[in-house]
């Protein structure tokens, strides 16, 4: 895990060393072990290294191939690099790093090398001979890559603040991104919160030569895969076990110790059990515990730790630590998000115990229909006949979908109950009605990124089983742009590499092809549980789900009131905000208006903090 950066001038103006150094310094937290630079004519590449595989200086970056034609900067891990290396017999390897394997693979296969890779990555290769730059991002979008391109230059980096450090991009907010943020608490492809800075799409590559850009989407989560046999449920469960074990085994590759988050829930328990089965010695497990019983899950974590004989560390925290660390967590946000504070605090606690790599159980709910909306979506499809009724009559109909009235009303007013119309409502933070009241009409009302992505993929989406349609929408929406982005920026703030086995693309491709009758949860994530039943004690499977559900609504009215109020007042002065409406909204929240959720208020607090911190206009 590292930070990468680069500048390419199309007019052959020499790249400035001070500028690339500023870029890497802006994200030094991503790689405290080493930094490196390549500067030649119009191009400059920079790298910050967190040493995980081949700890020697020989594996430092930017990395050169044997013939000195290419230079590579790479962020992430290539889990199957040994397998790929074995297929490249005509290259004289000088290191035991995954970095060199990527470069050798590109020299041999060009862009098609990505089809051989299994990992989380963003990498950039400069071809000194062709004067061509190539960028690629992993299939699931685990690792971020941002860029700015105009007629004269191309700039890229793992974080937007690195690009801003050049002074070549105005610190101006992107209006389209605001609509994304207020709807879904983060910003989706292709935008970022800064005008002129874009995100490279997950599962895609980009090539630039003489200022001309070529893009290709090499992997799509909605594309159906053929050749799977689902006729025997037992064999399906066996295949899930095999793919899960493979996913965990891949993510154990490391030359430093690997730990695991162990909450005591189903997903993290499965990961720890498979770590034990993978034969990598006693797993190092970490649980964050609390004296307050309503938050504490340490009892269940200890059951799993004892079952698999792990090197278990219980980290005792007070819920107040989340308040103590709040501003540090907000400072760590490269891009504003309504979530992520929990990941920051847990990552800090584990890093302080000396770990550089940790496995996480995040992703199990998205893949194995763990959220209530999966069942709700099936119920909605059973009631699809309602959408044959005129809209005026639909508005008075009742759906037992388990969502708030505003969402039910929006759903009943939509054209159809398909995934394209229901998923954006499910993940919505501010409703159109509230957004219209609080935010300038010049900002809202346009098609959001997730609506566009789902619409573009409609043909493929509708070929998937219904539950898999929800999973695919989750990957394109909340998972990629909030969950994974927060996992990256909050863990890397502490130089901790997170690895997520449930986001292994071989596993994802298989599970998304499974028919609904096999995946439909009899109880939460029953297909996952039944596939690895030998790993999970009954106490863990059937316990009440807890998690980090801290009383932010109470804190915002008490301990955080003055902090939040200052930011709300400042935000109300922004030209894209309706001042009186936002201040009234805040006062209504303080008076415990049941129609206002703390998450809606928090969006404005976080955004204003981020704008001030980064001096964005």
- Known catalytic residues are 2
What angle is formed at CA 275 by the lines to CA 273 and CA 277, rounded to 5 degrees? 70
In DSSP terms, which residues pair with 214 in a beta bridge? 207
Question: 200: buried, middle or exposed (CB in 10 Å: 19+, 13-18, 0-12)?
Answer: buried
Residues in Cβ contact with 150 at an 8 Å cutoff, skipping those fewer than 6 apart: 196
Both tokens of residue 506?
């071989």
Which residue carries 């089809």 as its tokens? 115
Pairing of the two strands 357-359 and 258-261: parallel
Taking the C-alpha atoms of residue 536 and residue 553, their distance in angstroms, rounded to an integer, is 34
Taking the C-alpha atoms of residue 334 and residue 161, their distance in angstroms, rounded to an integer, is 6
In DSSP terms, which residues pair with 77 in a beta bridge? 120
What angle is formed at CA 205 by the lines to CA 203 and CA 208, rounded to 5 degrees? 165
b (16+ CB within 10 A) / e for 539-573: ebbebeeeebebebbebbbeebeebbbebbebbbe
In DSSP terms, which residues pair with 314 in a beta bridge? 287
Which residue carries 């001979």 as its tokens? 129
152 near 10, Cβ under 8 Å?
Answer: yes
Taking the C-alpha atoms of residue 439 and residue 441, their distance in angstroms, rounded to an integer, is 6
Strands in 2-9's sheet, in edge-to-edge order, are: 34-40, 43-49, 2-9, 153-157, 146-149, 198-199
Taking the C-alpha atoms of residue 202 and residue 508, their distance in angstroms, rounded to an integer, is 15
- The residue among 235, 222, 521, 196 whose CA lies nearest residue 369 is 521
């Amino acid at each position: 895990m590292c930070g990468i950066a680069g500048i390419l001038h199309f007019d052959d103006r020499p790249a400035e060393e001070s500028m690339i150094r500023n870029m890497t310094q802006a994200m030094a937290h991503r790689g405290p072990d080493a930094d490196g630079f390549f500067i030649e004519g119009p191009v400059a590449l920079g790298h910050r290294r967190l040493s995980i595989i081949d700890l020697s200086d020989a594996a430092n970056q930017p990395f050169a191939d044997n013939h000195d034609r290419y230079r590579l900067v790479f962020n992430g891990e290539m889990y199957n690099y040994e397998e790929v290396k074995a297929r490249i017999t005509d290259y004289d390897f000088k290191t035991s790093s995954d970095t060199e394997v990527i470069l050798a693979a590109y020299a041999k296969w060009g862009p098609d090398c990505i089809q051989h890779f299994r990992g989380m990555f963003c990498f950039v290769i400069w071809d000194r001979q062709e004067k061509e730059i190539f960028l690629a991002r992993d299939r699931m979008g685990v690792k971020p890559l941002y860029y700015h391109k105009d007629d004269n230059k191309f700039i890229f980096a793992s974080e937007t603040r690195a690009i801003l450090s050049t002074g070549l991009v105005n610190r101006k907010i992107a209006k389209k991104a605001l609509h994304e943020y207020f709807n879904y608490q983060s910003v989706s492809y292709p935008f970022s919160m800064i005008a002129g800075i874009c995100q490279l799409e997950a599962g895609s590559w980009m090539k630039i030569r003489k200022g001309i850009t070529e893009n290709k989407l090499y992997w799509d989560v909605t594309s159906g895969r053929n050749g799977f046999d689902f006729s025997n449920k037992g064999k399906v469960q066996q295949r899930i076990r095999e793919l899960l074990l493979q996913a965990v085994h891949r993510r154990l590759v490391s030359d430093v110790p690997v730990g695991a988050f162990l909450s005591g829930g189903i997903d993290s328990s499965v990961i720890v059990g498979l770590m034990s089965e993978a034969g990598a010695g006693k797993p190092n497990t970490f649980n964050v515990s609390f004296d307050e019983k309503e938050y504490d899950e340490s009892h269940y974590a200890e059951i799993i730790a004892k079952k698999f004989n792990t090197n278990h560390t219980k980290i005792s925290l007070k819920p107040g630590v989340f308040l103590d660390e709040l501003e540090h967590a907000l400072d760590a946000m490269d891009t504003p998000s309504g979530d992520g504070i929990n990941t920051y605090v847990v990552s800090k606690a584990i890093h302080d115990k000396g770990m550089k790599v940790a496995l996480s159980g995040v992703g199990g709910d998205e893949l194995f229909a763990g959220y209530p909306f999966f069942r709700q979506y099936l119920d909605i499809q059973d009631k699809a006949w309602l959408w044959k009724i005129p809209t005026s009559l639909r508005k008075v109909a009742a759906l037992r979908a388990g969502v708030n009235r505003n969402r039910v009303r929006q759903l009943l007013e939509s054209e159809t109950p398909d995934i394209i119309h229901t998923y954006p409502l499910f993940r919505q933070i501010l409703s159109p009605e509230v957004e219209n009241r609080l935010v300038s009409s010049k900002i809202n009302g346009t098609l959001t990124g997730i609506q566009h992505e789902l619409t573009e993929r409609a043909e493929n989406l509708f070929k998937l089983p219904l539950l898999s349609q929800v999973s695919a929408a989750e990957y394109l929406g909340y998972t990629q742009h909030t969950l994974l982005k927060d996992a990256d920026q909050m863990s890397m703030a502490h130089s901790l590499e997170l690895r997520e086995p449930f986001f292994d693309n071989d596993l994802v491709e298989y599970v998304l092809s499974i028919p609904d009758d096999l995946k439909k949860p009899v109880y939460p994530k029953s297909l996952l549980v039944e596939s690895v039943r030998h790993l999970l004690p009954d106490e863990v499977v059937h316990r009440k789900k807890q998690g980090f559900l801290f009383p932010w609504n109470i804190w915002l009215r008490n301990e955080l009131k003055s902090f939040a109020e200052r930011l709300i007042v400042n935000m109300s002065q922004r030209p894209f905000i309706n001042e009186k409406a936002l201040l009234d909204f805040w006062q209504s929240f303080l008076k415990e208006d049941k129609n206002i959720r703390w998450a809606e208020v928090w969006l404005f607090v976080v955004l204003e903090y981020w704008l001030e911190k980064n001096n964005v206009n």
